[in-house]
Amino acid sequence: MTSLSDLSKLSGYSKATISRALSGNGYVSKETRKIILDLAKELDYTPNAIAQDLSAGTTKNIGVVLPYVKHPFFGQILEGILDKSFETGYKIVILPSNYDQNLEIQYLEQLRKKAFEALIFTSREVSEQTVHKYQKYGPIILCHKPKSKKIAASYAERKIGYRKALEWLQEQNCNNIGFLFARYKSPTTSVTLQTYKEIYEEKVRDEQIKTGAVSSADGYKLGPQLTQFDAIFANSDDIAANVWRWFEQQKLPKPVIIGQEALISGQVLNIPTVNNHFQQVGHCAFELAISKEIQQLAINISKLYDLVILKCFFDFTNCCSNTFILEIF
């Protein structure tokens, strides 16, 4: 592979002259520039992109810390980030963490060493105190609402959608609801349980909470634990669809099942869903990362018109009957 030193030796010009000729920055005579460019083309010389970024004082890399991508929460945020990155010259680097706090701190160390221009955290394992410590090295964006006002964040105001969904379940006389979560300690879990308490005026019982719902297959695996409930509030449409599939294959009466994120799996089965617009969260997180401003952007889903799509089916053997759409304007 031809290097800058090779071009210097073969052409007789200094590295500085060759660098100016190749980059177009600084003075080089037309004759000299042509000689150098022709030689570079002949030898198939390619500049080192990383070295160019470093010399310009920027990497154009934005790291996205993801515990995993199996759940739509993370997948949709990442999709939103990628959508925006395609419009710019920034590169997205996926940083898997599996909720490993030590690994996530290593990513912060890479920010300190200028490997990234910014980090977007979809995980919340790292404390806000630690985020404060590393902010001086570059923008750090959280995808949940932080306690501190001095940390940049993009997040969805989910409580409105959850409230409408739970009020609707209450109207259907559903009083024994099973809740599916990825983990017990998460923003999704806390806001869901708090909203339930406000609507039903009682705390969710421990036996109503089922964790480990990460991928779509987990919905099917959890099926045997859900037969006592008259309603299931799942943490994604894919998981809800596989709960539906388990009941269907067992030929058991289906409870009312609600999913989240308005995915195609839920639409095919006509499953009620809460759309949290996590792709929009990703859009805003990326924009905060490149703007380098410390702002907190709440995606208020009550202003996005398709807040909650609830499709009520009273005859579960014919799940396409009696549908309605509940919207907030």
pLDDT of the residue at 51 = 56
Residue 223 burial (CB count, 10 A):
20
pLDDT of the residue at 50 = 53
pTM (2 decimals)?
Answer: 0.74
pLDDT of the residue at 48 = 61
Asked if 181 and 232 count as a contact pair (C-beta separation under 8 A), the reply is no
Whole-number Å distance between alpha carbons of 191 and 179: 12
The three-class DSSP label of residue 268 is: helix
Residue 108 CB burial class (10 angstroms; 0-12, 13-18, ≥19): buried
**Token pair recorded at residue 112:** 């300190």
pLDDT of the residue at 57 = 57
pLDDT by position in tens, the chain (length 329) = 678 788 888 888 888 888 888 877 778 888 888 888 888 888 888 766 555 555 555 678 999 999 987 788 898 999 999 999 988 889 999 999 998 999 999 999 999 999 999 999 998 889 999 999 999 999 999 999 999 999 999 999 888 889 999 999 999 999 999 999 999 888 889 999 999 999 999 999 999 999 999 999 999 999 999 999 999 999 999 999 999 999 999 999 999 999 998 899 988 998 999 988 999 999 999 999 999 899 999 987 654 434 344 444 333 333 333 333 343 33
The three-class DSSP label of residue 64 is: strand
Whole-number Å distance between alpha carbons of 36 and 288: 41
pLDDT of the residue at 320 = 31
pLDDT tens figures, 192-211:
999 999 999 999 999 999 99
pLDDT of the residue at 302 = 53
pLDDT of the residue at 299 = 86
The three-class DSSP label of residue 308 is: strand
Which amino acid, one-letter code, is at 55?
S
Which residue ranges does the chain devote to CATH 1.10.260.40?
Answer: 4-47
**Token pair recorded at residue 167:** 């009020």
CATH architecture assigned to 61-156+279-294: 3-Layer(aba) Sandwich (3.40)
Nearest residue to 259 via CA among 327, 323, 180: 180
Phi, psi of 175 (to 5 degrees): -120, 0
Residue 125 CB burial class (10 angstroms; 0-12, 13-18, ≥19): middle
Which residue ranges does the chain devote to CATH 3.40.50.2300?
Answer: 61-156+279-294, 159-275
Class in CATH terms, 159-275: alpha beta
Residue at token pair 């959608």 = 161
Which amino acid, one-letter code, is at 287?
E
Give the right CATH number for 4-47 from 3.40.50.300, 1.10.1660.10, 1.20.1250.20, 1.10.260.40: 1.10.260.40
pLDDT tens figures, 274-295:
988 999 999 999 999 999 899 9
